[in-house]
Amino acid sequence: MSAESRTGNTGPDNTAPDNYLDLRAALGDPVLDAELLELALTHRSYAYENGGLPTNERLEFLGDSVLGVIITEALYAHRPELPEGRLAKVRAAVVNARALAEVGGRLGLGEHIKLGRGEESTGGRGKASIISDAVEALIGAVHLSGGITVSHAVVHALFDDMVSTALSLGAGLDWKTSLQELAAVRGLGVPEYVIESEGPDHRKSFTARVRLGGSLYGNGAGSSKKEAEQMAASSAYADLTGTAVADA
């Protein structure tokens, strides 16, 4: 039976390399199959340079869904007073690429990702898109290793603080609107979003900055233009106001 198909292990698999012990500890030492952990950390650049090994992209696909369901379920159960639109904004603030990259940074995930030489040489270990994808893959690996109960525990440990912060922000979650209002007050004109993309058509990633008054502000990244623009707007708002609200 392949590692991807195994579920419901009865205890942690401690056969992973010693340099993963700190990562396991940061996750709370959950049930986590060693082969799945290796796969979750295998970026496509490493896989292609080493003879077409399996990549972490399938686990990323799974982890994205697992994370979304757990966060959505928690919001639905614990905040019955919130309408659908508000719930959607809070969830988006928690599961976007920037938030995932922040979680990955706290885990020290960048140092463990297996990268190809080219990606390594261009600073891949610090790229939000690579780290955020690896976080989702890691959640997928946890889910296949230990099932939904273990997944719940790991996701809540990693994301509950972000959920609380997002819930406290109110209208601030719509950063493009907030930035437009701030720009109008300061006479900077209408924000213009400068978008760049990379990757194949079926897996594009986007980065964005905001042009205001002839200057560029903020940095945003995401799997869609809309997500990248929202992240850039939050970052630009923080730049202009000297606050840390964009880190939510």
Q: What is the pLDDT of residues 179-213, one digit of tens each?
A: 887 888 888 999 999 999 988 887 788 999 999 98
Report DSSP state, residue 5. G
pLDDT digits (tens, 9 = 90+) for 106-151: 999 999 999 999 999 999 899 888 999 999 999 999 999 999 999 9
Domain with CATH 1.10.1520.10 in the chain: 21-168
Q: Which residues contact 233 (CB under 8 A, 6 or more apart)?
A: 175, 176, 178, 179, 191, 210, 218, 220
Q: Is 136 considered catalytic here?
A: yes
Burial class (CB in 10 A: 0-12, 13-18, 19+), 116: middle
* Range 126-133 contact pairs with CB under 8 angstroms and sequence separation of 24 or more: 128/97, 128/98, 128/101, 128/221, 129/97, 129/101, 129/205, 129/221, 130/43, 131/100, 131/101, 131/104, 131/105, 132/97, 132/98, 132/100, 132/101, 132/104, 132/221, 133/43, 133/56, 133/57, 133/60
Q: Is the pLDDT confidence value at 42 over 90?
A: yes
CA distances from 243 to 28, 203, 234, 237, 238 (A): 31, 33, 10, 8, 5
Catalytic one among 102, 119, 136, 227?
136
| Overall average pLDDT of the 44-72 stretch | 96
136 is in an annotated binding site: yes
pLDDT digits (tens, 9 = 90+) for 208-244: 999 998 899 999 888 888 888 988 988 888 888 875 4
Per-residue pLDDT at 8: 37
Per-residue pLDDT at 173: 64
Share of the chain above pLDDT 70, in %: 88
User: Which CATH architecture group holds 21-168?
Assistant: Orthogonal Bundle (1.10)
User: Which CATH architecture group holds 175-241?
Assistant: 2-Layer Sandwich (3.30)
Per-residue pLDDT at 170: 62
Catalytic one among 33, 38, 64, 119?
64
Query: Sign of the C-alpha dihedral, residues 68, 75, 226, 118?
Result: negative
* 223 in Cβ contact with 217 (< 8 Å): no
| Overall average pLDDT of the 85-101 stretch | 85
Cα–Cα distance for residue pair 126/129, rounded to 1 Å: 9
Q: Is 22 considered catalytic here?
A: no
Per-residue pLDDT at 31: 92
Per-residue pLDDT at 2: 44
* 236 in Cβ contact with 242 (< 8 Å): no
Q: Is the pLDDT confidence value at 164 over 50?
A: yes
Closest CA to 148 of 73, 90, 94: 73
| Overall average pLDDT of the 59-70 stretch | 97
Query: Cα 162–242–196 angle (5° rounding)?
Result: 70
Q: What is the pTM of this model?
A: 0.70
Per-residue pLDDT at 19: 59
33 is in an annotated binding site: no
Q: Is the pLDDT confidence value at 13 over 60?
A: no
201 is in an annotated binding site: no
Domain with CATH 3.30.160.20 in the chain: 175-241
